[in-house]
């Protein structure tokens, strides 16, 4: 019996992924630990290693295949002494990708992920299991069964599933009027793009956002940053603290002061998190990802700086491990480097708050009744009113402002 190489689950919530490329070919001899292929999930690319030694007998799922269901056979490994005849009977079709749309959500707690998974309808083209009656009713209503989630035995679509379903689903699924061909380039959705689209749409549509904005004067911070960076050693131990690192540190300290803002909303309870884990929005070529600086309250500025640098770098390369972007209690999105003055970010559920950080810019300010020039950074906190009320949000923002304006507090 050839050894079946299965599509691995890179995270507990992963149900399918893409086989990006194979680094071995049929006939290659591999030993345990050799890299076989790269698997792309919603957020990361992972290398799959051989667990056993043998000869790659057959690659069933070629590189570039999307939506390969977890635990489906992607290749067959022949053991020592086994010849290719053992491969007879294995066909790619029996393991062909049959998954629905990608499902592992960005930085979601498993409970949320599970509910998201259940709600994802099957992809068009895949075999739809439905009772004859359900098919008949769907046809009568002009309903696309691929858009319906089955609740019958083994997920089969039954009468009750289609009776309640509105045919609007089809209207929205139908192609919109496309511009003339040749006038555009269609960029197929990556898993990540689909996840971003769904998650942020869900958030904006279901989470009652409210926004709090504060101008923060950062002259002291800039002075401190300048002298700190000037004192950096060369080579080993060198550091370069960014304004954003200060923001992360100030958020961490403010969350310790106002732990109510470090919260997740669930249907049954508001979860007030014990650890201060801060998600940092990072733009990558394929989209947004939010790696997490863990225990940011215990890290110094240099530690935060190093962590952010490492995570952001690997995020851009698509090499983050799922646990590095799953979880977190608070997010920071900083567009200051693009000269954005002020913006409001969309909450990253199940978190309750996200801080949108604008550019620090010199502005006329009033100090003790006198006009002066100061460097001001506008920060807007987006808050989920279900879990965090206005006053708590304001307390958090006040604490953040106090700390970022008096950066010496960060040394405490």
Partner 1 sequence: MSDTNFDLVIIGGGPGGYVAAIRAAQLKMKVALVEHQHLGGICLNWGCIPTKALLRSAEIYRQMQHAKDYGLSADGIGFDLKAIVDRSRKVSGQLSGGIGHLLKKNKVTVFDGYGKLAGKGKVAVTKDNKLITTLSAKNVILATGARARVLPGMEPDGKLIWYYKDALVPNEVPKRLLVIGSGAIGIEFANFFHTLGSQTTVVEMMDRIVPAEDAEVSAFLQKSLTKDGLKIMTSVGVKVLKAGKDTVSATLEVDGVTHVEEFDRVIVAAGIVGNVEDIGLETTKVHVDRTHVTTNEWCETDEPGVYAIGDIAGPPWLAHKASHEGMLCVEKIAGLKGLHPMNTDHIAGCTYCHPQVASVGLTEAQAKERGHKLKVGRFPFQANGKAIALGEPEGFIKTIFDEKTGELLGAHMIGAEVTELIQGFVVAMGLETTEAELMHTVFPHPTLSEMMHESVLDAYGRAVHF
Nearer to partner 1, 14 or 138 (CB): 138
For the question of residue 274 being annotated catalytic, the response is no
- The distance of closest approach from Cβ of residue 147 to partner 1 in the complex, given in angstroms and rounded to an integer, is 19
SS3 content of the chain, % helix, strand, coil (to 5): 35, 25, 40
- The distance of closest approach from Cβ of residue 116 to partner 1 in the complex, given in angstroms and rounded to an integer, is 18
Q: Both tokens of residue 66?
A: 């999307």
Q: Both tokens of residue 251?
A: 């958020």
Q: What are phi and psi of 223, to 5 degrees?
A: -60, -45
- The distance of closest approach from Cβ of residue 188 to partner 1 in the complex, given in angstroms and rounded to an integer, is 34
Cβ partners under 8 Å of residue 15, min gap 6: 9, 69, 70, 99, 100, 103, 104, 117
Alpha-carbon distance 350 to 280, whole Å?
15
Nearer to partner 1, 129 or 343 (CB): 129
- The distance of closest approach from Cβ of residue 154 to partner 1 in the complex, given in angstroms and rounded to an integer, is 7
Nearer to partner 1, 152 or 303 (CB): 152
Catalytic residue, chosen from 67, 189, 209, 385, is 385
- The distance of closest approach from Cβ of residue 8 to partner 1 in the complex, given in angstroms and rounded to an integer, is 24
Please compute, for residue 33, the number of CA atoms within 13 A of its CA located in the half-sphere on the CB side: 0
- The distance of closest approach from Cβ of residue 149 to partner 1 in the complex, given in angstroms and rounded to an integer, is 13
Footprint of partner 1 on this chain (CB under 8 A)?
131-134, 136-137, 140, 151-154, 158-159
Alpha-carbon distance 261 to 333, whole Å?
16
- The distance of closest approach from Cβ of residue 128 to partner 1 in the complex, given in angstroms and rounded to an integer, is 14
Nearer to partner 1, 156 or 193 (CB): 156
Nearer to partner 1, 159 or 385 (CB): 159
Nearer to partner 1, 91 or 115 (CB): 115
Q: What are phi and psi of 3, to 5 degrees?
A: -85, 130
Cβ partners under 8 Å of residue 214, min gap 6: 378, 379, 381, 397, 398, 400, 401
What is the number of H-type helices and E-type strands within the chain? Answer: 9, 18
User: What value, to the nearest 5°, has the Cα angle with vertex 63 and ends 282 and 90?
Assistant: 135
* Residue for token pair 């490994």: 77
Nearer to partner 1, 51 or 133 (CB): 133
Let me know if 229 is exposed, middle or buried by CB neighbors in 10 A (0-12, 13-18, 19+).
middle
Cβ partners under 8 Å of residue 210, min gap 6: 382, 383, 385, 390, 393
Kind plus residue range of the DSSP H or E element containing 161? helix 159-164
The catalytic residue positions are 385
């Amino acid at each position: 019996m050839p050894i079946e190489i299965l599509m691995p689950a890179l995270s507990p919530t992963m149900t399918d992924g893409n086989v990006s490329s194979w680094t071995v070919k049929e006939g290659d001899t591999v030993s345990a630990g050799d890299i076989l292929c790269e698997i792309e999930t919603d957020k990361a690319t992972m290398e799959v290693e051989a667990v056993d030694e043998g000869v790659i007998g057959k690659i069933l799922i070629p590189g570039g295949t999307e939506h390969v269901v977890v635990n489906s056979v992607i290749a067959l490994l022949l053991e020592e002494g086994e010849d290719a005849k053992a491969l007879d009977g294995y066909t790619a079709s029996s393991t062909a990708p049959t998954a629905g749309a990608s499902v592992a959500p960005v930085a979601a707690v498993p409970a949320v992920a599970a509910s998201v998974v259940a709600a994802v309808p099957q992809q068009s083209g895949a075999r739809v299991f439905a009772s004859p009656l359900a098919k008949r009713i769907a046809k009568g209503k002009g309903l696309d069964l691929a858009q319906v989630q089955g609740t019958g035995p083994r997920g089969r679509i039954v009468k009750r599933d289609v009776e309640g379903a509105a045919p609007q689903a089809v209207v929205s699924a139908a192609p919109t009027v496309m511009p003339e061909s040749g006038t555009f380039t269609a960029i197929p959705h990556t898993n990540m793009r689909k996840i971003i689209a769904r998650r942020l749409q869900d958030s904006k549509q279901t989470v009652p956002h409210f926004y709090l904005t504060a101008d923060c004067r950062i002259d002291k911070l800039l002075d401190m940053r300048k002298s700190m960076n000037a004192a950096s050693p060369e080579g080993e131990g060198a550091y370069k603290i960014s304004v954003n690192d200060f923001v992360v540190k100030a958020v961490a300290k403010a969350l310790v002061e106002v732990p109510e803002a470090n919260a997740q909303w669930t249907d049954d309870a508001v979860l007030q998190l014990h650890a201060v884990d801060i998600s940092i929005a990072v733009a990558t070529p394929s989209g947004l990802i939010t790696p997490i600086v863990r225990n940011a309250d215990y890290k110094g500025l240099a530690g935060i700086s190093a962590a952010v640098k490492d995570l952001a770098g690997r995020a851009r390369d698509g090499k983050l491990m799922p646990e590095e972007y799953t979880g977190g209690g608070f997010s920071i999105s900083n567009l200051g480097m693009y000269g954005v003055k002020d913006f409001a970010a969309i909450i990253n559920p199940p978190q309750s708050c996200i801080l949108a950080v604008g550019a620090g810019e010199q502005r006329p300010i009033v100090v003790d009744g006198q006009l002066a020039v100061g460097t001001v950074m506008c920060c807007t906190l987006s808050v989920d009113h279900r879990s965090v009320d206005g006053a708590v949000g304001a307390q958090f923002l006040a604490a953040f402002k106090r700390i970022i304006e008096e950066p010496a507090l960060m040394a405490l």
